[in-house]
């Protein structure tokens, strides 16, 4: 049996709903062996981010080298990268190890408003990392910053996706979670020629902490297994939809999604 591997280069969320923890849980649930390089430690729970402690560039590089020089990876995702120094170092390592199945989740601000990327690091993200992305997965506010435009509607999102593709990302997914006006929720994928739309019912919940990380991790896991972008996009959307639906209801604030839900439903369905 082949063991597929995925690496996450991201921040740690002590509360377990986002960041490295969400990524590894998602990889595991999708039958992919998960590995990590931690860029920052956050003291975080369902009530918010209470502290951010970046890891040294040297430590980030050493973690990536430890993986690249031994285990290798079939796909990787980046999440919270915090500073331009970390972004530049990570980009260099991706090039050195010739990793191409690269998912860039351009994490900027946590739902509670805490900054997870320094303002001056946005340019480094655009210049160094975006051109290495097989797929970039911004939410609407992140797409606005990266494409330097305001997004009011789907047409604007399509324009922003084109812009990010011109900056070098081979595929662009702009997620629709922040389009709060609509009852349905549409994520769009642009491959340089065509748009694909995935629509789902918006679930009314306060427990959506870590949705972006979980979605991007599911996408990465599917790419690690050799799926194409379209198939990986569909599976990631299914994974996050049921993870939000099957609410865990833990914590006093914005709770995490349920990383078990997708596999448990699959197992239940195969029994009936
Ligand atoms: N309330 C919701 N109901 C259903 N799906 C959601 C909901 N909120 C977010 N999603 C899905 O979760 C994923 C992450 O979306 P989004 O919230 O836009 O990103 P982020 O967590 O990075 O801000 C997307 O696939 C989006 O469609
Ligand atoms: C350590 C860490 N990384 C990323 C995030 C942001 O995750 P996201 O999936 O966008 O979820 P919300 O913060 O928006 O709920 C994070 N919070 N912590």
**In the prediction, which pLDDT does 112 show?**
84
The mean pLDDT of the chain is 96
What pLDDT does 219 receive? 98
Provide the ipTM: 0.98
Secondary-structure percent of the chain, ordered helix, strand, coil, rounded to 5: 45, 25, 35
How far, in Å, CA of 43 to CA of 258, rounded?
Answer: 21
Q: Check whether 269 has a pLDDT greater than 90.
A: no
Percent of the chain with pLDDT over 90: 93
Question: 3 pLDDT exceeds 80?
Answer: yes
Q: What's the CA-to-centroid distance between 167 and ligand 1, angstroms? A: 24
Structural domain span for residue 26: 5-271
Q: Is the pLDDT of residue 1 over 80?
A: yes
How does pLDDT run across 172-224, given as a tens digit for each residue? 999 999 988 778 899 999 999 999 999 999 999 999 999 999 999 999 999 99
Chain center to CA of 251: 23
pLDDT value at position 272?
61
Contact 247, 211 (CB under 8 A): no
Of ligand 1's listed atoms, the one at least distance from the Cα of 215 is 13
| Alpha-carbon dihedral 146, 63, 255, 230, rounded to 10 degrees | 60
Integer angstrom CA distances of residue 177 from 116, 167, 245 = 19, 24, 14
For Cα atoms 214, 216, 220, give the angle at the middle one, nearest 5 degrees: 115
Cα–Cα distance, 233 to 229 (Å, whole number): 6
- CA–centroid distance, 269 to ligand 2, in Å, is 31
Q: Which residues line ligand 2 (CB under 6 A)?
A: 10-13, 18-19, 42, 44, 79-80, 107, 110-111, 116, 209-213
C-alpha span between 171 and 266 (Å, rounded): 29
Confidence (pTM): 0.98
Structure tokens at 3: 């063991």
Tally of structural domains, the chain: 1
Ligand nearest to the CA of 237: 1
- Region 235-262: what's the mean pLDDT? 97
Cα separation, 221 vs 63, whole angstroms: 20
Residue 166 maps to which CATH number?
A: 3.40.1190.20
Judge if the beta carbon of residue 211 lies within 6 A of ligand 1.
yes
Beta-carbon-side half-sphere exposure of residue 84 (alpha carbons within 13 Å): 9
């Amino acid at each position: 049996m082949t063991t597929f591997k995925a690496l996450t280069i991201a921040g740690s969320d002590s509360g377990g709903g986002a960041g490295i923890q969400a990524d590894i849980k998602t990889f595991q649930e999708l039958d992919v062996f998960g590995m990590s390089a931690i860029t920052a430690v956050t003291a975080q729970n369902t009530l918010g981010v209470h502290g951010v402690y970046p890891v040294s560039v040297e430590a980030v590089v050493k973690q990536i080298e430890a993986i690249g020089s031994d285990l290798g990876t079939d796909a990787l995702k980046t999440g919270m990268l915090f500073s331009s120094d970390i972004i530049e170092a990570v980009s260099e390592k991706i090039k050195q190890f010739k990793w191409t199945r690269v998912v860039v989740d351009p994490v900027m601000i946590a739902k509670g408003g805490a900054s997870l990327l320094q303002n001056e690091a946005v340019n480094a993200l655009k210049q160094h990392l975006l051109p290495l992305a097989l797929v970039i997965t911004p939410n609407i506010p992140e797409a606005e910053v990266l494409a330097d435009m305001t997004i009011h509607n789907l047409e604007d999102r399509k324009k922003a996706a084109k812009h990010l593709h011109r900056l070098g990302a081979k595929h662009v997914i702009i997620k629709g979670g922040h389009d709060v006006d609509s009852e349905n929720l549409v994520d769009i994928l642009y491959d340089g020629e065509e748009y694909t739309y995935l629509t789902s019912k918006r679930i009314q919940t306060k427990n959506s902490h870590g949705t972006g990380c979980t979605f991007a991790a599911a996408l990465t896991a599917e790419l690690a297994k050799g799926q194409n972008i379209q198939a990986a996009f569909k599976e990631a959307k299914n994974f996050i939809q049921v993870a939000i639906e099957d609410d865990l209801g833990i914590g006093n604030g914005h709770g995490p999604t349920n990383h078990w839900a997708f596999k448990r439903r699959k197992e239940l369905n195969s029994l009936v």
